[in-house]
């Protein structure tokens, strides 16, 4: 869902249509795609904007232009390279004995090896690796000065 029960939006020729999901998911998706096709022909352009996976699939199959908000946010998130410096506020302990946990402004979880003793502080770290999951991206870092592989 986008916001407050809104399932999607359709932009066409300066017109924005926003709809809420009804009880029939299948019907909603096909109505939205048919409307986008009609507006594409009638107004010279329509793009669906959605967060719904099924709507994205139906639009792709029907050849309708669609922007997946989740893909857009992933595309504009900063990329981190192993060895890159990063300041992180460690706010909690991690699952492993010595880990600390922090978050970037975009919600990315940062797991800090040897970070538990730094809880409540912002420290300089070095990126070790990243992991993309269905729930989002995770960064694995270690305090600067404690690394050997990434030492410059």
Question: Which of the two residues, 104 and 149, has the higher pLDDT score?
Answer: 104
- Quick one: 64 and 90 in the same domain? no
In the numeric block, which tokens belong to residue 88?
């992180």
Please, are residues 36 and 12 in contact by the beta-carbon 8 Å criterion? Answer: yes
Last residue of a domain, which of 28, 53, 75?
75
Q: Mean pLDDT score of the chain, rounded to an integer?
A: 74
Q: Tell me which residue range forms the domain holding 50.
A: 6-75
Query: Mind listing the pLDDT tens digit for each residue in 38-71?
Result: 554 444 556 777 777 777 777 778 777 777 777 7
- Quick one: 99 and 60 in the same domain? no
Please, are residues 100 and 94 in contact by the beta-carbon 8 Å criterion? Answer: yes
Q: What are phi and psi of 3, to 5 degrees?
A: -140, 135
CA distances from 108 to 16, 20, 69, 105, 113 (A): 31, 29, 17, 7, 16
Is the pLDDT at 109 greater than 90, yes or no? yes
Query: Mind listing the pLDDT tens digit for each residue in 128-142?
Result: 999 887 667 899 999
- Residue 114's nearest CA partner among 130, 125, 103 is 125
In the numeric block, which tokens belong to residue 61?
């199959």
Q: How far is residue 69 CA from its own chain's centroid?
A: 8
Query: Is residue 133 included in any domain, yes or no?
Result: yes
């Amino acid at each position: 869902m986008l916001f407050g029960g809104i399932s999607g939006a359709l932009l066409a020729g300066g017109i924005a249509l926003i709809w809420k999901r009804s009880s029939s998911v299948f019907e909603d998706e096909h109505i939205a795609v048919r409307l986008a096709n009609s507006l594409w022909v009638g107004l010279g352009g329509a793009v669906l904007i959605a967060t719904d996976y099924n709507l994205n699939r139906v639009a792709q199959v029907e050849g309708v232009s669609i922007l997946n908000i989740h893909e857009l946010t992933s595309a504009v998130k900063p990329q981190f390279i192993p060895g890159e410096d990063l300041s992180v506020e460690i706010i909690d302990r991690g699952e492993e004995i010595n880990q600390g946990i922090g978050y970037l402004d975009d919600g990315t979880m940062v797991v800090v090896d040897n970070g538990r003793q730094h809880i409540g502080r912002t420290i300089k770290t070095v990126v070790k690796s990243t992991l993309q999951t269905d729930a989002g991206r995770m960064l694995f870092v270690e305090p600067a000065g404690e690394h050997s592989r990434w030492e410059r």
